[in-house]
Amino acid sequence: MANTMDVKVPDIGNYADVPVIEVLVAEGESVEAEQPLIVLESDKATLEVPAPAAGVVHGIKIKVGDKVSEGHAVCTLELAGEAEAAPAEPARPAAAPAAVAEAPTPAPEAPAAATPPVSAPAAAPASGATSTLDVRVPDIGNYSDVPVIEVLVADGDAVEAEQPLIVLESDKATLEVPAPAAGIVRGLKVKAGDKLSEGNPICSLETTATADATPAAPAPAAAPPVAAAAKPSTESQPWPVPGTPPLVDTQPIAPPPKPAGPEQVPYAGPATRKFARELGVDLAQVPGTGPRGRILVEDVQTFVKNRMTQPATTTSAAAGGSGIPPIPAIDFSKFGPIESKPLARIRKLSAQFLHRSWVNVPHVTQTDEADITELEAFRKSMSQELVASGGPKLTVLPFLIKAVAVAMRTYPEFNASLAPDGESLIMKGYCNIGFAADTPNGLVVPVIKDVWNKGIAQLAEESAALAKKARDGKLKPDEMQGGCFSISSLGGIGGSFFTPIVNAPEVGILGVSKAQMKPVWDGSAFQPRLMCPLSLSYDHRVIDGAYAARFIVHLGQLIGDLRRLAL
């Protein structure tokens, strides 16, 4: 008879009702021991629950979105062999509760003798005086000789308290070691590839004593063994103890957005990191599609697939990696004072996306002007009416979204994507339209779903709600996915025509600028008309120039006479 094991959510410290963000296995799938089964993510930590033994997965009892606590059933494992059978309830590690404790003070189980991450000076120096702290690898459970995968600071760098200094990664967990206090990094003793254990020196920190920053004596209780980046210093982040519950803490890699700091560590779990390393993929170049930008194994696969299907022109060895001559690095400080300002994560990501589109897609931009005189009159009167009855304010954007969606019915190639192998077009039977939103953190593109089946008032309400969420940094990943076409509206700002960059794998994007009154010849006289500049960029591999010109003319007709939208 088959030997089975019930897999349950292990001890996850003080966490409860933690959302499941990924289920990584399917019914009947064979898994190796330690292969991650599900991923849990609280607002502070990402945890993988791996298989405690090799076997075949049956009776999955968890789905994405479920909220689980310790003991929640995950699945049953039909064990691969007697030798690998493990007890149904793994033993709880003594250190685990402390390790994952979210409590503001260390959990009582925290080993009293845990190596403090910092040796503070013997006596508190006077306020304003400098002192030196030795920063060492803190208590990391039973792990030893853990490889350093990234060193995030250099000698002489000024760091904030809790700013990550190095990243350690075992085959089960990835953890950052943060600075225990603000200061200047001195005598850095580690480099990527070194193997570290508890107590090994990392660097010294030259700190300026203030009442807050420099305790009079070492305070291991206040310095968590491994604290999560971008989180309050009071939070403990543990490592799992080997051979015990199948809990892997992957978080200290903080989710975005992250305040200014050093180069950000790509946000990915150990399984993804291991996979990327096996393939030699630099995770910093991989856009994450998981919750809060988390990089998934599938993202690494897509990245590699895209690289492999790129035209040969990008492999020219003589010209460097991408075949594009690099822009030379210049020491600007030779010419005057400068300041280095770290880029927000969203800006870095959008830079990647835009560059990717720019170099992959042969762009052409077709411009035209749409007569929105009637639209504007209608919009203003309807907006007042809608607002008076508690509805949304009407801007030009929802009309444009609707008009583009209707035009895409007549010109379906604008609602297509090129297959990755370039051999076919994927025609979409749905219509989701994204719109660029300018936010304090950079450009984001929320997507309105199912535009064909929505009226303009509903589009106004949804676009306003999504734009607000975008500005508040609260967009969920699925609210930025699934777009078929994008609109970039600068009409509320000014300017005339521009060249928007296609949001690949979409094939078209409409840039909209500020409408202005212009004299327009009606055959017998000039009439004052409100003309809106439109700039349609398209992927010339998919769309012919004539097709694009017909599309923009048709779009202008729809916008110019809204009755056509009802046809």
One of 38, 265, 418, 490 touching ligand CAO (CB under 6 A): 490
* 491 touches ligand CAO (CB under 6 A): yes
Q: Which is nearer to ligand CAO, 45 or 370 (CB)?
A: 370
Q: How far is the CB of 391 from ligand CAO (least distance, A)?
A: 14
Q: How far is the CB of 501 from ligand CAO (least distance, A)?
A: 7
CA distance 281 to 277: 6
Out of 58, 72, 355, 540, pick the active-site residue.
540
Strands ordered across the beta sheet of 201-208: 118-119, 130-136, 201-208, 183-186, 158-159
* 559 touches ligand CAO (CB under 6 A): no
One of 436, 447, 536, 542 touching ligand CAO (CB under 6 A): 436
* 437 touches ligand CAO (CB under 6 A): yes
Q: Which is nearer to ligand CAO, 287 or 323 (CB)?
A: 287
Planar angle of CA 109, 230, 344, nearest 5 degrees: 165
Please give the single-letter amino acid code of residue 541: R
- Per the CB < 8 A criterion, the answer to whether 46 and 250 are in contact is yes
How many residues in the chain? 567
Chain positions 187 to 246 lying near ligand CAO, rule: CB under 6 A, are none
Q: How far is the CB of 517 from ligand CAO (least distance, A)?
A: 11
One of 233, 391, 438, 540 touching ligand CAO (CB under 6 A): 438
Chain positions 462 to 481 lying near ligand CAO, rule: CB under 6 A, are 467
Assigned token pair, 246: 């199948």
Per the annotation, the verdict on 540 as an active-site residue is yes
3-state secondary structure 308-325: HHCCHHHHCCCCCCCCCC
Other beta carbons within 10 angstroms of residue 307's beta carbon come to 13
Q: Which is nearer to ligand CAO, 203 or 372 (CB)?
A: 372
Q: How far is the CB of 445 from ligand CAO (least distance, A)?
A: 8
CA distance 408 to 399: 14
**How large is the angle between the packed helices 545-560 and 373-388, nearest 10 degrees?**
50
Q: Which is nearer to ligand CAO, 425 or 443 (CB)?
A: 443
Chain positions 524 to 543 lying near ligand CAO, rule: CB under 6 A, are 532
Q: Which stretch binds ligand CAO (CB under 6 A): 213-221, 229-237, 430-438, 536-544?
A: 430-438
Q: HSE (CB half, 13 Å, CA atoms) of 517?
A: 3
Q: How far is CA 428 from CA 67, 363, 416, 484, in A?
A: 34, 21, 6, 8
- Residue 419 CA, chain-centre distance (Å), reads 24
One of 204, 250, 489, 537 touching ligand CAO (CB under 6 A): 489
CA distance 240 to 140: 8
Q: How far is the CB of 124 from ligand CAO (least distance, A)?
A: 50
220-243 as b/e: b if 16+ CB within 10 A: beebbbbbbbbbebebbbbbbbee
**What string marks each residue from 276 to 295 as x (binds ligand CAO by CB under 6 A) or -?**
--------------------
* 492 touches ligand CAO (CB under 6 A): yes
- Per the CB < 8 A criterion, the answer to whether 286 and 298 are in contact is no
**What string marks each residue from 374 to 403 as x (binds ligand CAO by CB under 6 A) or -?**
---------------------xxx------
Q: How far is the CB of 324 from ligand CAO (least distance, A)?
A: 21
Q: How far is the CB of 303 from ligand CAO (least distance, A)?
A: 24
520 phi-psi bin (left φ>0, alpha ψ -120 to 50, beta other): beta
Find the DSSP H helices in 310-429: 345-360, 373-388, 396-410
With CB under 6 A as the rule, give the number of residues binding ligand CAO: 19
One of 515, 536, 543, 552 touching ligand CAO (CB under 6 A): 515
Q: Which is nearer to ligand CAO, 353 or 452 (CB)?
A: 353
* 10 touches ligand CAO (CB under 6 A): no
Catalytic residues: 540
Q: Which residues bind ligand CAO (CB under 6 A)?
A: 395-397, 435-438, 443, 467, 488-492, 500, 512, 514-515, 532
